[in-house]
């Protein structure tokens, strides 16, 4: 069995349809690349009523045919997809999980459950083949009807000017040129635009080799993430086992560093590997085999004038902890509302510099954490192997040993504490989970944080804990900022939101359209709230 | 940071206990024992600045 992927219609671009225009047309915003990051941004913008053009080199989803690549989507990603309007579809198709186990051979070293600490409406994780996620995003973009989707087109030339970017694009009807006020590059790690402009980045190639072997089998296994650090059925190397949609399991095998990717992905070799793991009695079907190695790459800056970079085009890392796809989606989440405000005339380019500041720090953190996991999964010397063996033995009996055991730390939204535009309190900068704001009534769930944020479009929302004073409402009205007030009158129901934001009763939590807390204020005075909003919007104080 | 002041209840006794623990082990088992002991002791200490200083002190003269 292999996957059936959709194809999307190529439409002759206007530039090639009529008589050649005397000057290239000017577009407000062009996204290059229809992977997770690019599609999330286009869908997010459309959900905010913003039109854009998206260029993708093929006419389907997934990477080179049916490859599935990313699988684990974390809670923050699921919240973003809920805001965009495709969470239900993702949850219905994918495998929801919250429990992970780390094993040594037959023996379980420990088990952890993320659910008890979760307060969001969305589950902790859903596993889903990446192409389904992209497919649902495309469907949503088409449904919203605001995006000019240009399939089978590829950027082959780029010029970065002071007030626009000029792109030369290859299409099945021949090349053409367009100009864009803003361009977001989401082409992935081999970004043409980044390389053509020779933009500064640092790359380190990894020696670690893995081989994804997606299989379907008829055996009940728990819907959990299992990790073997030293799997006896894989020559004491690492193995991951993840449930996915369509009863397919992602088995990811660590290979010897000198292994030949062609050899390890031969069907008979892959089948032998799976048989060693599942045992002789379990029948299975190979769905997809994909060998990979990984690299670490970080661009020096994510904004270059009118050009912005996100996802793997800006930063690449090992897959440990699902920090690739999820962080690309979080880049799009960070950028969408800024571009919407900018294109609607409610903010200036300074707001885009904050994208670079915030997401660069998030990328640094993701690279630091994945590099540590990578080194745990592939020790570099006999001494490192010995230390890892010590950790594995201690983890059986001692909680502190589990702290040292690092088989990938799951991606979490970055805490932007201390960066420009955030208030001074400890919680400012955190992503606020999608908590309910009123008690559930029979039959219908109560409104939650995301419902309020979605209804506010690209405005900041000030959650006021208590009645809204008349003079506060009047002052916000006069200020003319993309900012609105939301009265939290049910103190019991919003106690959790208060605790998460650190705003006291009678205070205010100022939350951005991407759910991050801009500031927590101790009272309901207009002056400090307007100052906090201007800071969050990168406006002069 | 003072890493030199003697703190042992019974230094000779500890050394003897350590030697005894290594008796009958292969080199790789001994290495593993040492590594486990380092991690157990490190967790007992806990403080990051102390641990950093201890690692640096151990690296001296190598």
Segment A400-446, tens digit of pLDDT: 999 999 888 899 999 999 999 999 988 999 999 999 998 877 777 88
| Bridge partners of residue A431, in order along the sequence | A516
Q: What is the pLDDT of residues A55-102, one digit of tens each?
A: 999 999 886 655 658 899 999 999 999 999 999 999 999 999 999 999
What is the Cα Rg of chain A in Å? 24
pLDDT at A383: 96
Alpha-carbon dihedral sign for residues B33, B39, B43, B47: positive
DSSP string across B9-58: S-HHHHHHHHHHHHTT--HHHHHHHHHHHHHHHHHHH--HHHHHHHHHHH
Report the distance separating Cα A181 and Cα A166, nearest Å.
9
* Distance between start and end Cα atoms, chain B: 21
Mean pLDDT across chain A: 94
Q: Is the pLDDT of residue A344 over 60?
A: yes
Q: What is the pLDDT of residues A114-130, one digit of tens each?
A: 999 999 999 999 999 99
Task: Please name the residue ranges forming H helices in A299-427.
Answer: 325-343, 350-377, 382-397, 399-404
Q: What is the pLDDT of residues A188-204, one digit of tens each?
A: 999 999 999 999 999 98
Q: Is the pLDDT of residue A156 over 70?
A: yes
pLDDT at A63: 67
Report the distance separating Cα A219 and Cα A462, nearest Å.
51
pLDDT at A220: 80
Place of tokens 């021949």: A174
Tell me which chain A residue has its CA closest to the CA of residue B42: A400
* Distance between start and end Cα atoms, chain A: 60
What is the Cα Rg of chain B in Å? 13
Asked if B28's CB is within 8 angstroms of A390's CB, the reply is no
Kindly give, in sequence order, each residue whose CB lies less than 8 Å from that of residue B48, ignoring residues fewer than 6 positions away. none
Report the distance separating Cα A253 and Cα A274, nearest Å.
9
pLDDT at A445: 81
Segment A20-27 mean pLDDT:
82
- Residues of A whose CB is below 8 A from B28: 386
Asked if B40's CB is within 8 angstroms of A387's CB, the reply is no
Show which of residues 364-383 on chain A sit within 8 Å of chain B, judged by CB atoms: 383
Q: What is the pLDDT of residues A481-539, one digit of tens each?
A: 999 999 998 888 899 999 999 999 999 999 999 999 999 999 999 999 999 999 999 99
Asked if A400's CB is within 8 angstroms of B36's CB, the reply is no
Give yes or no for A405 touching B (CB within 8 A). no
Percentage above 70 pLDDT, chain A: 98
Kindly give, in sequence order, each residue whose CB lies less than 8 Å from that of residue A475, ignoring residues fewer than 6 positions away. A526, A527, A530
Rounding to the nearest 10 degrees, give the CA dihedral for residues A48, A410, A250, A128. Answer: -20
Enclosing H/E stretch for A403? helix A399-404
Using CA atoms, how far residue B46 sits from A43, A65, B39, B42, in Å, is: 47, 50, 10, 6
- Residues of A whose CB is below 8 A from B32: 386, 389-390, 393
pLDDT at A438: 85
pTM for this predicted structure: 0.95
Q: Characterize the bridge pairing of strands A176-185 and A307-309.
A: parallel
Q: Is the pLDDT of residue A369 over 80?
A: yes
């Amino acid at each position: 069995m292999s996957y059936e992927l959709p194809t999307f219609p190529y439409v002759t671009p206007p530039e090639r349809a009529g008589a050649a225009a005397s000057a290239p047309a000017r577009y407000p915003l062009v996204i290059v690349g229809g992977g997770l990051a690019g599609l999330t941004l286009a869908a997010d913008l459309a959900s905010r009523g913003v039109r854009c053009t998206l260029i993708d080199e093929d006419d389907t989803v997934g990477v080179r045919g049916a490859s599935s690549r990313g699988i684990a989507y974390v809670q923050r990603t699921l919240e973003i997809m809920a805001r965009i309007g495709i969470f239900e579809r993702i949850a219905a198709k994918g495998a929801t999980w919250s429990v992970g186990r780390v094993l040594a051979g037959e023996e379980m070293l420990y088990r952890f459950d993320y659910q008890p600490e979760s307060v969001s409406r969305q589950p902790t994780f859903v596993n889903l083949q990446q192409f389904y996620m992209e497919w649902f995003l495309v469907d949503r973009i088409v449904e919203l009807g605001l995006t000019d989707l240009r399939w089978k087109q590829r950027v082959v030339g780029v010029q970065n000017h002071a007030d626009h970017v000029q792109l030369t694009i290859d299409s099945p009807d021949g090349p053409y040129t367009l100009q864009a006020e803003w361009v977001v590059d989401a082409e992935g790690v081999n970004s043409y635009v980044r390389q053509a402009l020779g933009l500064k980045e640092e790359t380190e190639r990894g020696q670690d080799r893995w081989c994804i072997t997606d299989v379907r089998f008829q055996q009940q296994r728990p819907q959990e993430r299992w990790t073997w650090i030293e799997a006896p059925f894989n020559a004491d190397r690492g193995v991951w086992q993840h449930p996915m949609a369509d009863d397919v399991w992602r088995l990811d095998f660590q290979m010897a560093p000198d292994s030949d990717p062609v050899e390890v992905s031969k069907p008979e070799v892959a089948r032998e590997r799976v048989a060693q793991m599942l045992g002789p009695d379990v029948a299975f079907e190979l769905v997809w085999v994909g060998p990979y190695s990984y690299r670490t790459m970080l661009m020096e800056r994510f904004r270059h004038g009118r050009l912005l970079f996100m996802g793997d085009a800006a930063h690449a890392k090992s897959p440990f902890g699902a920090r690739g796809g999820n962080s690309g989606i979080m880049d799009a989440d960070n950028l969408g509302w800024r571009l919407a405000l900018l294109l609607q005339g409610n903010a200036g380019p300074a707001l885009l510099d904050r994208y670079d500041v915030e997401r660069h720090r998030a990328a640094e953190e993701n690279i630091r954490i994945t590099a540590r996991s990578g080194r745990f999964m592939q020790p570099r010397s006999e001494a490192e192997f010995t230390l890892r063996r010590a950790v594995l033995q201690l983890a059986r009996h001692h909680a502190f040993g589990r702290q040292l055991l690092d088989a990938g730390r799951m991606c979490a939204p970055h805490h932007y504490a201390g960066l420009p535009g955030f208030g001074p309190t400890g919680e400012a900068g955190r992503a606020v989970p999608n908590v309910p704001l009123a008690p559930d009534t029979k039959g219908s769930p109560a409104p939650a944080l995301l419902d309020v944020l979605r209804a506010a479009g690209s405005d900041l929302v000030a959650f006021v804990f208590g009645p809204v004073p008349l003079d506060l409402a009047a002052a916000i009205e006069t200020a003319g900022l993309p900012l609105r007030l939301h009265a939290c009158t049910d103190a019991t129901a919003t106690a959790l939101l208060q605790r998460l934001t650190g705003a006291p009763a009678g205070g205010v939590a100022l939350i951005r359209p991407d759910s991050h807390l801009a500031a927590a204020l101790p009272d309901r005075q207009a002056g400090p709230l307007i100052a906090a909003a201007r800071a969050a919007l990168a406006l002069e104080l | 940071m003072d890493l030199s002041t003697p703190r042992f209840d019974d230094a000779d006794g500890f050394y003897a206990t350590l030697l005894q623990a290594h008796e009958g082990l292969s080199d790789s088992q001994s290495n593993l024992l040492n590594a486990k002991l380092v991690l157990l002791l490190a967790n007992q200490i806990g403080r990051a600045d102390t641990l950093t200083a201890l690692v640096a002190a151990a690296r001296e003269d190598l």
